[in-house]
């Protein structure tokens, strides 16, 4: 059944005043089997709407190749929300931020030299136009005026904090309309006059994002609306109920439930709200984002965000506080939440097989050869690692090495022996070495997550994008092996090839369970790396904290035999892992 959703002095649904009480759930951070559970808990907390971003890099992983299946089936997610009586707000990008790799932009954009992002640069806009044409075939039939549940769609995201090219926003607005978007459009920015002016566009409602101080923040928005739009409804598109965690943070970021509830109430008394986030979920597949304000700060695998619904779907004290608050604004009694999802500690599992990275290389395919190093994007790779290898010519002993334009973390090996590890800004300067003639130099470079916010967005090539300088001279003759850490790569590993302790290696664990249940993988005693569970790339781990256990949803496991594959880069391995029934956070040092 078709409905109407309009705005004037306030929002109106089928001609009646409507307050948006929304919560964000990112379908791509939740396994599909749990979409219903998370949405039912959203409704039971008192929300009438779900909001989600759409990451371009998941839906067009290669130029012109689209994927809207399985965990990427956004239409199925939205239809399920409608079945449960929830309206939807959709934020299609092309840029989403979201603490997601590259702000949701596909990394293949960076394979083109000179690419410019989030502007009217023709090659960028051509790629957006192609993507929107495909994406909006999926979304347009789900709009409220066509019998679906989408109330509104966003134009870009927080553009006022990035740029001021209004022609770009106008182009995106027009692309949405040309491709069948008929519901109201909106923009969202920080509650500053300049951000609102830079990020707004005619034909879209300006809204604001903040985490406290609703009277002051809404006053800024109201003044801007009065000057530019006249009377219009007030919407906090992102009310930050918590915050994300980065590797090396001293502890898991949290905020008191009572403080959060008071601030949310202040918003509800003045306008509409979308909680960012109701449920954070997990940065599966090494697709966490990063921030960089003078130093790289990659986000943890967990995107718990101290949200009302925890990473594992548990209802927290913050959930209970907000449920009590929303019940006061609800038009009818709230439904009961679904029962908790069982969690189980499966115990300790010992390593079954192991193989060193160097020994495994012949099973991983032919290397790419080039006179100069190629960055990850030019190798057609999005996430993971690249191993660069070369033979040093017999011209004496080299004293310095410099890795130009390299990101994010490089481990250097001389004849297979660890020599040094360089991280972030350390990569941008010469370092003393003693590398004799006719020796093998190998460099394992890890992509720790592309920056998702700010002016460094355009400079996110990973791997080695410049030259390797030996005593100040560019060295030629490289072999490169992409290591995307996906199921296809893992299936090629030859565990009989050999193992040397203290070096990067793959470790395989096999174990049997009677029935799947949610669990948490404890990696105490391990250094740094990533994990695959039954071929699914779960995420990365790092002993610097604060996250010490990885959430493993039950749908990733199976009754009978299961397999966990660890890639560990530091040579710190304890030979066993443990499955626990609770998450793990601990303090960790700030050093890289």
Tell me the catalytic residues.
Answer: 158, 238
| Cα separation of the two ends of the chain | 55
Indicate the DSSP class of residue 38: H
Instruction: Specify the 3-state DSSP secondary structure of 325.
Output: helix
CB 334 within 8 A of CB 47: no
Please name the residues in contact with 121: beta carbons below 8 A apart, sequence gap of 6 or more.
115
Identify the bridge partners of residue 398 per DSSP, sorted by sequence position. 435
Total residue length of the chain:
592
Q: Which of 286, 171, 297 is nearest to 246 (CA)?
A: 297
Q: Which of 92, 99, 89, 145 is nearest to 273 (CA)?
A: 89
CB 431 within 8 A of CB 468: no
286 vs 71, 466, 484, 509, 529, CA distance in Å? Answer: 15, 24, 9, 20, 10
Q: Which of 300, 556, 311 is nearest to 448 (CA)?
A: 300
CB 425 within 8 A of CB 295: yes
Nearest-angstrom CA–CA distance, 297 and 290: 5
Instruction: Specify the 3-state DSSP secondary structure of 487.
Output: helix
Indicate the DSSP class of residue 340: P
CB 290 within 8 A of CB 103: no
Instruction: Specify the 3-state DSSP secondary structure of 265.
Output: helix
């Amino acid at each position: 059944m078709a409905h109407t959703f309009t705005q004037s002095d306030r929002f109106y649904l089928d001609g009646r005043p409507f307050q948006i009480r929304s919560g964000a759930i990112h379908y791509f951070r939740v396994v599909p089997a749990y979409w219903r559970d998370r949405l039912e808990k959203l409704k039971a907390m008192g929300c009438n709407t779900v909001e989600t971003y759409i990451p371009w890099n998941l839906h067009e992983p290669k130029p012109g190749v689209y994927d809207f299946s399985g965990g990427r089936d956004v239409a199925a997610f939205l239809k399920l929300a409608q079945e449960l009586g929830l309206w939807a707000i959709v934020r299609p990008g092309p840029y989403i931020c979201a603490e997601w790799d590259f702000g949701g932009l596909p990394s293949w954009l960076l394979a083109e030299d000179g690419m410019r992002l989030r502007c009217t640069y023709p090659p960028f806009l051509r790629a957006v136009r192609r993507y929107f044409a495909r994406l909006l075939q999926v979304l347009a039939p789900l709009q409220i005026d066509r019998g679906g549940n989408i109330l509104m769609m966003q134009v870009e995201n927080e553009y006022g904090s990035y740029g001021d090219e209004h022609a770009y926003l106008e182009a995106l607005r027009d692309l949405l309309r040309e491709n069948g978007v008929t519901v109201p459009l909106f923009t969202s920015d920080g509650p500053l006059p300049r951000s609102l002016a830079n990020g707004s566009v005619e034909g879209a409602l300006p809204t604001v994002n903040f985490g406290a101080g609703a009277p002051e923040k809404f006053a800024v928005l109201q003044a801007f609306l009065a000057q530019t739009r006249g009377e219009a409804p007030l919407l906090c598109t992102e009310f930050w109920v918590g915050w994300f965690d980065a590797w090396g943070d001293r502890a898991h970021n949290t905020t008191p439930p009572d403080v959060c509830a008071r601030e949310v109430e202040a918003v509800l008394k003045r306008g509409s709200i979308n909680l960012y986030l109701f449920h954070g979920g997990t940065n599966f597949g090494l697709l966490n984002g990063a921030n960089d304000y003078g130093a790289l700060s990659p986000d943890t695998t967990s995107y718990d965000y101290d949200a009302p619904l925890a990473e594992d779907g548990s209802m927290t004290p913050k959930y209970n506080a907000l449920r009590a608050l929303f019940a006061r604004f609800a038009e009818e009694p709230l439904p009961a939440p679904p029962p908790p999802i069982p969690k189980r500690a499966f115990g300790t599992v010992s390593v079954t097989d192991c193989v060193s990275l160097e020994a495994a290389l012949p099973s991983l395919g032919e290397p790419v050869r080039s006179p100069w190093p190629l960055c990850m994007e030019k190798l057609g790779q999005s996430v993971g690692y690249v191993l660069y290898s070369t033979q040093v010519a017999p011209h004496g002993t080299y004293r310095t090495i410099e890795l130009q334009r390299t990101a994010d973390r490089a481990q250097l090996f001389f004849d297979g022996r660890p020599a040094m590890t360089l991280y972030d800004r350390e990569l941008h300067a010469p370092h003393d070495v003693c590398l004799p003639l006719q020796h093998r130099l190998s460099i394992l470079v890890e992509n720790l997550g592309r920056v998702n916010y700010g002016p460094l967005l355009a400079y996110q090539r990973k791997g080695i994008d410049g030259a390797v300088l030996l005593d100040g001279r560019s060295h030629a003759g490289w072999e490169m092996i992409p290591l995307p850490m996906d199921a296809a790569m893992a299936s090629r590993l030859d565990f009989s090839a050999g193992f040397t302790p203290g070096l990067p290696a793959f470790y395989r664990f096999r174990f049997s369970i009677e029935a799947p249940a949610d669990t948490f993988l404890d990696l105490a005693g391990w250094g740094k790396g990533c994990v695959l569970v039954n071929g699914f790339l779960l995420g990365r781990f790092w002993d610097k904290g604060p996250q010490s256990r990885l959430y493993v949803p039950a749908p990733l496991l199976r009754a009978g035999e299961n397999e966990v594959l660890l890639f560990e880069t530091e040579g710190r391995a304890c030979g066993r892992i443990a499955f626990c029934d609770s998450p793990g956070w601990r303090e960790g040092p700030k050093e890289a």
